[in-house]
Structure 1
Amino acid sequence: MVSRRQLIGAGAALVGAAAWSRTSAMGLPEAPTMDSAATQVPPVPSQGPHYNPVVTLNGWSLPFRMNNGVKEFHLVAEPVEREMGEGMTAYLWGYNGQSPGPTIECVEGDRVRIFVSNKLPEHTTVHWHGMILPCGMDGVTGLTQPPIPSGKTFVYEFDAKKSGTFMYHPHGDEMVQMAMGMMGFFVIHPKDPNFMPVDRDFVFLLSAYDIDPGTYVPRVMEMTDFNLWAINSRVFPDVAPLVVRKDDRVRIRVGNLTMTNHPIHMHGYDFEVTCTDGGWVRPEARWPEVTIDIPVGAMRAYEFDAVYEGDWALHCHKSHHTMNAMGHEIPTFIGMDKTKVAKKIRQVQPDYMPMGTKGMADMAEMSMPLPDNTIPMMTGWGQFGSLEMGGMFTVVKVREGIEKGSYEDPGEYRHPPGTVAYEWTGALPEAPSAPAGSADGSSLRPAGKSASAAQADHSGHE
């Protein structure tokens, strides 16, 4: 198999026109694959209209060839192995060696031709989610086209009518195929490069899986109790950071093809929502946020000026979505004394450790034995200790001095002196007393006395 790294390493930016033209007479375009979960920064295209390529977290952009003025891409629907995090691999379905599939990029007004080869054990189609195109290219099995049988290749061809951020996914046996990871981004850049320019442009998809510890294949019938919440099918701490140069204008595009909404929150900044699946938001209609809810089957893009240095968390604000390999039937032991039962359990399991009596933070700090092919529920370390996170969590790293076009992790942020929260070692102040006639209409009263008793005492004094 040809990897994208091998193609780029050969010295041709986006596999130069000469290389593509030599294969055009042979029929199908190349179908490069990616076997790495690292973020691959695409080069600026050397063919067709200019655009600033997007950076797909833990992903890549699909190369194209020019054929008589048409941009040609080749997607291969196939079983893939995706490393969701260190120590865990999922057996998914995807495109060109990965799930999500590669991001497809073109420019408003381009004519695109996309060859889709099916290496799945069943038929499939591709629906171009949110795009304006001929009905027969919409990719709905049985309604707008016959299914693509296993072992066959179909061709989709249309004009990129409007710029924006879109997605692609099957519309055949959709419940199974999307639950197995078949999805990807489709970005159409504005024809005018001066429209909505940014310095750094990130994209990622939100996905969810139910994979039991020790197993590899998602349970496709699951509708609610997912145990792995992922950013581009990666879970923290193995989600790539968003590396940003100080003072850059930054756009983050987030797509949601899970079965629930996700309130995406970014620390340290407020931002403007500038794009939805339907198109760009007019300047007078944009609104400020620090958390943007991404509905099911939707995309939202937001922008900000990177003026504040630091390591800023970016995550889903549903707390269970920042955890890995969760069990859903675990009782709550907070406040319980498990000393006696722990002694009995250790008679048959000497290494047993009672946990959960004070909360779950201990789980993030202990390297407990795990089943094969799974990852800790809470994990990740920073310069101050355990992060106690997982799932849909990553970090926006804003630094001064990062080179243009570099996305290399700059490491941990060096906080200026006096800017880190610290322990107070002096005497604690006395708790303030509530003023007479407090909000509930009561006066100060001795501890343990009811309001009526206190009132009786007060009446007696009168």
Structure 2
Amino acid sequence: MNTRRNFLAAAGLLAAGAASRNALATAPEPHHHDSADTAPPLHPGSGRPYNPVVTLNGWSLPFRMKNGVKEFHLVAEPVEREIAPGMIARLWGYNGSSPGPTIEAVEGDRVRLFVTNKLPEHTTVHWHGLILPNGMDGVGGLTQPQIKPGQTFVYEFVLHNSGTFMYHPHADEMVQMAMGAMGLFIVHPRNPRQMAVHRDYAFLINAYDIDPGSSVPKVNTMLDFNLWTWNSRAFPGIAPLVARTGERVRIRMGNLTMTNHPIHLHGHVFEVAGTDGGWVPRTARWPEVTVDIAVGQMRAIEFIADNPGDWAFHCHKSHHTMNAMGHSVPTMIGVQQDDLTPALQKLLPDYMAMGSSGMAEMAEMDMPLPDNTLPMMTGRGPYGSVEMGGMFSVLKVRDKLPAASTEQLAWAGLDAFGWYAMPSGTQAHTVPTDTAPAAPRDPHAPKPAAEAGARVLQVQKPTHLHGH
């Protein structure tokens, strides 16, 4: 029995290898892209027309049409990703990047997705939120065998619903997603005029735990992550979002971290226009400035960019706008450290006292860091340090955009066309201390005890306790 079982297992492996080679021979050539810059939107050259998205610090995967079927080729593989200038992470992703490329197709399309596994262990791909046949759902062991290293599997199904979706492994899931294996899947409406916007941005929310000086994520971390990222980028490495005044803007976001994220936009009011379940009817929407995105959820927000300026756009969990945090750092506010610093510097030459009056000084200090490590707070604005890291970017709204290419500005750098020039009288400013008005006093408020002539209670700590 053992001999027969071994023979059948070997025959199965040979058949799988042959099937994989045959599938790979018919698959489209895989495209690779390892830049962390935001790529131009990929306009379709064939198939149904659609208005492409701009993937923040990402790109869209080219496809080919074959007998009316839209074919894509994903390659799961180890990649290197620049989290921000000064730090490279060794991750797992697809086609040279993490997250992998955005897949864009149209409602009603039949898609054929080849997946080649170049990871050191088996994998699968789950098409999160898409309604498809059970055998195409990509759950290893439940709906299919795992894709072993070197094998190519093919998924094929019809896209029944438009909306914002994503893909990720459903095999050794915690490890592979902790290593960055994930990507966006955008299904556009059949009618390009339906749900049309002027600017359509998309990104995934992800997080890593990478020790200072290291480059590989700790895959067994549950909650204490130290790098909070959008599309595996941390501020100031996250690209800005650009719009002309009066344009309708959509931002699509998916959360594949271990916690929720309240994403907050300054200067504008938006509506939640879509979830991973589809579009929200206009009659069911309400105004918001913050949307909470739970684990495994997608949200698409829409708004009119009607307020010119450079507007902050960020997660409202304050420790998610920091980099390389230590989770056991003591609070030193109010602690005098000057007398200890010389002695400590004899033991630790690079020691710097900090935190006695808060952590803002971290943004200005030129503190030595281990190689391949980001400062906790970084990024410069027109008035100094922005004192942010992690999940933070800028929505840049202008009455006029440079004439060269308004579309190109969608993926331009943070300072591509300068900082917003605020009109006179619209910016907070310093009041000279000698001319500052005294704070008004409420005439009905009780007078201070000393001014009212009342006895002031004196309290003295006892020097001993009776009988103790």
> What is residue 435 of structure 2 aligned with on the other side?
427
2:407 counterpart of 1:405: yes
Q: Greater shift after overlay, 25-34 or 237-246?
A: 25-34
Report the CA distance between 1:295 and its aligned residue: 0.6
* Secondary structure at the counterpart of residue 340 of structure 1: coil
What amino acid is aligned across from residue 151 of structure 2 in structure 1? K
What secondary structure does 1:347 align onto? Answer: helix
How much has 1:113 moved relative to structure 2?
Answer: 0.2
Cα distance 1:404–1:446, how it changes in 2: closer, same or farther (>3 A)?
Answer: same
Q: Equivalent residue for 2:374?
A: 375
* Change in 2 beyond 3 A, CA 1:348/1:159: same
Q: How does 1:45-84 map to 2 (within 5 A)?
A: 45-84=44-83
* 1:8-87 map, 5 Å: 27-87=26-86
The one-letter amino acid of 1:424's match is V
**Distance of 1:447 and 1:349 partners within structure 2:** 50
Query: Which deviates the most, 404-413 or 160-169?
Result: 404-413
Within 5 Å, which residues of 2 pair with 1:345-356?
Answer: 345-356=344-355
What is the distance in 2 between the residues matched to 1:176 and 1:351? 35
Range with greater deviation from structure 2 (417-426 or 315-324) = 417-426
Residue type matched to 1:430 in 2? A
Separation in 1 of the partners of 2:96 and 2:207? 19
Residue 145 of structure 2 aligns to a residue whose secondary structure is coil
The answer to whether structure 1 residue 269 and structure 2 residue 271 are counterparts is no
Shift of 1:248: 1.3
- Deviation at 1:351? 4.5
> Is there any run of 5+ residues in structure 1 with no aligned partner, and where?
1-23, 455-462
Q: Compute the displacement of 1:418 (Å).
A: 2.0
CA distance in structure 2 between the partners assigned to 1:388 and 1:136 by the alignment: 48
Q: What do residues 265-289 of structure 1 show as CA deviations (whole Å, max 9, x unaligned)? A: 0111011110011110001101110
Offset, 1:194: 1.6
Q: Does 1:446 align with 2:452?
A: no
Aligned to 2:337: 338
Q: Determine if contact 1:306/1:398 at 8 Å carries over to the other structure.
A: yes
Find the counterpart in structure 1 of residue 190 from structure 2.
191
C-alpha displacement at 1:445, in angstroms? 4.0
Q: Which moved more, 1:347-356 or 1:245-254?
A: 347-356
Q: 1:450 to 1:239 in 2, by over 3 A?
A: farther
**8 Å CA contact 1:130, 1:166 repeated in 2:** yes
Deviations 1:291-322 (A, max 9, x none): 00011000111111112111111000000000
Secondary structure at the aligned position of 1:177 is classed as helix
Per-residue deviation, residues 433-459 of structure 1 (Å, max 9, x unmatched): 3443x6xxxx434259999989xxxxx
Partner of 1:307: 306
* 1:335 aligned partner, one-letter code: G
Alpha-carbon contact 1:322-1:389 (below 8 Å) kept: yes
The alignment partner of 1:252 has SS state of strand
2 CA distance for matches of 1:188 and 1:435? Answer: 64
Give ranges in structure 2 of 5+ residues lacking alignment.
1-22, 458-468
| Partner Cα separation in structure 1 for residue 187 and residue 86 of structure 2 | 36
Distance 2:418 2:117 in 1: 41
Number of equivalences: 426
Identity %: 64
After superposition, the C-alpha distances for 1:59-114 in whole angstroms (9 at most, x for unaligned) are 00000000000000000000111110111111110000010000000000000000
* Structure 1 residue 429 displacement after superposition: 2.4
Counterparts of residues 26-425 of structure 1 (less than 5 Å): 27-402=26-401, 403-407=405-409, 408=412, 409-425=416-432
Letter in 2 for 1:410: F
- Aligned to 2:97, what secondary structure does the other structure show? coil
CA distance in 2, matches of 1:376, 1:323: 8
TM-score (norm 2): 0.88
Counterpart secondary structure, 1:203 = strand
Moved more, 340-349 or 314-323: 340-349
Determine helix, strand or coil for the equivalent of 1:264. Answer: strand
Kept in 2, the 8 Å contact 1:435–1:444? The answer is: no
CA contact (8 A) 1:434 1:444 kept: no
Question: Does the CA-based 8 Å contact 2:449-2:455 persist in structure 1?
Answer: no
Distance of 1:110 and 1:26 partners within structure 2: 23
- What do you get for the CA RMSD once the two structures are aligned? 1.9
- Cα shift at 1:115: 0.1
**Partners of 2:24 and 2:99 in 1: CA distance:** 30
